[in-house]
Structure 1
C-alpha cells in the first residue's frame, strides 16, 4: 500500500474536495449527535481554517483521503470559530491542531497517527513547545487516542451552538524523532 502520499496541502488542491473529505470523515460523529464544525462546514470555512497555519493531506491515486491542520496561537483578543479564544490557544509557545480527518474507507491504516506526527513535527520545527487541541467530552475514543500520544486535559469549554462540551488538551513537544518532516511516502 505504498500508493499513499503524505504532503503539505498545495495551493492547487481543491478546497471543495478537502471539505467533502472532512464531511465524510466527521459523518460518524454527527450520527452520534455531535455537531463538530467539520461535520458541515462550508468550503469558505475550510479555506479560512487552513489559511491560518499549515494543512497536511494524505493522497491516494490523486484523491485526498486524510488531513490535519496545525496553526499558530490565536490573538488573545480574537475569536476562534466566532467564540472567544480559550487561554491555551493564545499562548505564544503553543500551536493548535485541528481538522484531523481520515476518510472512512481508509481507516485502520495508521493515517491519523501519521498526520498527527507530521503536525507535531511542524509545530516543533516552528519552535513551539506545546501543541493543543479540543474534542468533544463524550468522544471517549478520541480522547483516549490523544492521551496515548501524550496529550493531557487542561480544561474544558462550551463552544457556542455545539451539542457537547469540549475538553481542551495539550502536549509538551519533545525533541523530534528521526524522520522526514515535510513530505514522505506513507506505506501501511
Structure 2
C-alpha cells in the first residue's frame, strides 16, 4: 500500500536521493537538473528549512517532494542567489519533486503535489512557486494543468538550460505567514 508521510529525521537521505533515478530521463535529454546527480549532502542542504514528504511503498521510498517558506534574500538557493519570487513573503517554494520510474503513471506525483500544496495552505501561504527547465514542455504543461502560470525566468549557474519560474495562488485556510 502506498503511503505519503512527512519525512522523518530517521529516514535515510541516501535512499531519499532516489532523485537520481527519477531524473535520469531528463539527463538523457541533456538537462543537468541538480537532482540528476546531487550528493546526499546537497539533498540535506536542499531540505534544510523545508518540510519534506515521502511516498513509501512496502517500506521503500518511491517518491519525494519538499516545500518551504520564502528564502532570506542573502541565502543561496543551491549555489545562486534566489530569484525575487523565492524571497517574497507569503510564497512557499516547491522543490525536490520526484517519483521513481517504477512507480510512474499511478498519480503519485499529483498526490505528492497535493500534499505539499495542502501543507502550504495550512501554513497560511498565499502562493506556491517552483521552477523547471524551460525546454521541458511536458513538465510545464503538467504544472499549468494544476493552475501554475509562468511569471518569469532564471538562468541557474552551470545549467545547460534556462528555467521558467511558475506560481499558483493558494486559497489560504489560515494566515500564519505574512
Equivalent residue for 1:103, pick from 84, 88, 100: 100
Structure 2 unaligned blocks of 5 or more:
174-178
CA–CA distance in 1 between the matches of 2:10 and 2:86? 29
Higher RCO, 1 or 2 (CA under 8 Å, sep at least 6)? 1
Deviation at residue 175 of structure 1 after TM alignment: 5.0
The match for 1:10 is 8
In 2: Cα distance, 1:82 partner to 1:169 partner: 20
Shift of 1:78: 2.2
TM-score (norm 2): 0.95
- The alignment partner of 1:92 has SS state of coil
Paired position in structure 2 for 1:159: 156
Superposed CA deviations along residues 96-124 of structure 1, whole A, max 9, x for unmatched, are 00010000010000000000000000111
State the secondary structure of the residue aligned to 1:163.
coil
Name the count of aligned residue pairs: 173
Task: Tell me, yes or no, if the aligned pair for 2:130 and 2:167 is still in contact at 8 Å.
Answer: yes
TM-score normalised by length of structure 1: 0.90
Residues 1:26 and 2:23 aligned together: yes
CA distance in 2, matches of 1:91, 1:129: 10
